[in-house]
């Protein structure tokens, strides 16, 4: 199954969420004996990003550059990736299950008549094709999906496949787009939260809090704790709905999926919708005053305590 990875770039660098997709493509190549390639689309620093992807051992890395590709728009990405897929006859096209991947991949699938699976977390070869597994009901149930189309369009869980292994350096070639389509949408402006903290989806350490914070005035201590660890800040939907946190910092099924090395869950119950977003975390530390809180079922380290008391003590030992 000849696979094309659509590498995601942001501000001229490869997004960490693509790494799991690259590892998926490597696995498919190893087990089915077919090659994989990648396409890197963007404006700034694309050569450098392409070199990095090339170091993971694909057959080829195609680059598509131009001002119009600086920001991902579903229409432009669909048009470009469709051309690459059609020109080289890929059988599988895969991108990270990120906001970008989930935006353009369904459109691409519709345009090319491909069957689609979102959030692929595992796969296995079957009868010369591939069957995929994806989590449903917040990861409580795993569905097995078989596609009857000749082209498979996939978004890949951003954490399940881990990091790619280095491989033989591939050739990087500029893809000739030919005549440009008239794109019906253009990028105007991005308004995002400005923060000196790391990106929630790529941080090594994430500090999240829930309704147990009790009062917005107590958030300052959580922020100090996060900053002392160089961590990203996140929260539950309950605190977002209370207006205590911007919604782009919500972690969970309807928020961000995170995969840090260390995840702090402070004063949050551990609802299945929240836990769905932290399954990729390597170690979970929970502080909750209720010893029966469900978060303790998934935590590696648990502290039954009032977070308002525990946090200043932890800060003191960090700073002192």
Ligand X SMILES: Cc1cc2nc3c(=O)[nH]c(=O)nc-3n(C[C@H](O)[C@H](O)[C@H](O)COP(=O)(O)OP(=O)(O)OC[C@H]3O[C@@H](n4cnc5c(N)ncnc54)[C@H](O)[C@@H]3O)c2cc1C
Complex with ligand X: residue 61 or 299, whichever CB lies closer: 299
Among residues 279, 284, 248, the alpha carbon closest in space to that of 265 is found at 284
Residues in the chain: 320
Query: Residue 301 Cβ, how far from ligand X at the closest point, in Å?
Result: 15
**Helix (H, G, I), strand (E, B), or coil: what is residue 294?**
coil
Query: Residue 40 Cβ, how far from ligand X at the closest point, in Å?
Result: 30
> Is residue 26 within 8 Å of 56, Cβ to Cβ?
yes
Tally the C-alpha atoms within 13 A of residue 152's C-alpha that lie toward its C-beta.
Answer: 25
Query: Residue 8 Cβ, how far from ligand X at the closest point, in Å?
Result: 22
Complex with ligand X: residue 153 or 311, whichever CB lies closer: 311
Under 8 Å CB-to-CB from 163, ≥6 apart: which residues? 19, 20, 23
CA dihedral for 37, 147, 158, 247, sign (positive or negative)? positive
Q: Beta strands 115-126 and 152-156: pairing type?
A: parallel
Complex with ligand X: residue 60 or 211, whichever CB lies closer: 211
**Structure tokens belonging to residue 108:** 């691409």
Binding site for ligand X (CB under 6 A): 210-212, 214, 236-239, 250-255, 267-269, 271, 273-274, 277, 287-290, 293, 306-308
Complex with ligand X: residue 179 or 215, whichever CB lies closer: 215
Q: CA-CA distance, 121 to 112, in Å (whole number)?
A: 23
Q: CA-CA distance, 180 to 197, in Å (whole number)?
A: 38
Complex with ligand X: residue 98 or 269, whichever CB lies closer: 269
**Helix (H, G, I), strand (E, B), or coil: what is residue 319?**
helix
Query: Residue 140 Cβ, how far from ligand X at the closest point, in Å?
Result: 13
Query: Residue 290 Cβ, how far from ligand X at the closest point, in Å?
Result: 3
Q: CA-CA distance, 145 to 156, in Å (whole number)?
A: 14
Alpha carbon of residue 90 to chain centroid: 23
Q: CA-CA distance, 239 to 265, in Å (whole number)?
A: 13
Element (H, E) at 27: helix 17-32
Complex with ligand X: residue 150 or 247, whichever CB lies closer: 247
Complex with ligand X: residue 30 or 306, whichever CB lies closer: 306
Complex with ligand X: residue 83 or 237, whichever CB lies closer: 237
Beta strands in 46-189 (DSSP E): 60-65, 92-96, 115-126, 129-136, 141-146, 152-156, 171-174
Query: Residue 116 Cβ, how far from ligand X at the closest point, in Å?
Result: 22
Query: Residue 62 Cβ, how far from ligand X at the closest point, in Å?
Result: 35
Query: Residue 216 Cβ, how far from ligand X at the closest point, in Å?
Result: 13
């Amino acid at each position: 199954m000849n696979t094309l990875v659509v590498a995601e770039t942001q501000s001229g660098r490869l997004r960490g969420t693509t790494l799991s997709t690259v590892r998926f493509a490597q696995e498919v190549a190893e087990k089915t004996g077919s090659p994989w390639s990648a396409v890197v689309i963007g404006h700034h620093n694309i050569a450098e990003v392409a070199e990095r992807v090339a170091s993971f051992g694909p057959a080829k890395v195609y680059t598509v550059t131009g001002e119009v590709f600086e920001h991902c728009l579903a229409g432009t990405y669909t048009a470009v990736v469709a051309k690459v897929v059609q020109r080289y006859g890929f059988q599988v096209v895969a991108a990270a299950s990120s906001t970008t991947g989930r935006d353009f991949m369904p459109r691409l699938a519709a345009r090319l008549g491909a069957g689609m699976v979102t959030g692929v977390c595992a796969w296995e070869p079957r009868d010369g094709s591939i069957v995929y597994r994806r989590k449903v009901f917040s990861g409580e149930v795993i569905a097995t999906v078989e596609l009857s189309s000749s082209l498979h369009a996939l978004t890949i869980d951003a954490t399940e496949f881990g990091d790619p292994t280095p491989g033989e350096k591939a050739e990087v070639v500029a893809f000739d787009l030919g005549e440009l389509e008239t794109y019906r949408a253009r990028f105007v402006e991005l308004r995002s939260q400005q923060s000196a903290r790391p990106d929630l989806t790529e941080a090594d350490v994430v500090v999240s809090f829930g309704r147990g914070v009790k009062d917005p005035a107590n958030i300052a201590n959580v922020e100090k704790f996060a900053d002392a660890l160089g961590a990203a800040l996140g929260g539950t939907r309950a605190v977002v709905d209370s207006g205590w946190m911007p919604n782009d910092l919500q972690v969970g099924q309807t928020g961000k999926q995170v995969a840090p090395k260390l995840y702090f869950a402070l004063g949050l119950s551990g609802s299945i919708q929240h836990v769905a977003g932290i399954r990729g975390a390597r170690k979970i530390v929970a502080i909750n005053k209720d010893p029966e809180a469900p978060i303790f079922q998934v935590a590696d380290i648990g502290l039954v305590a009032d977070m308002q008391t525990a946090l200043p003590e932890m800060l003191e030992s960090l700073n002192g």
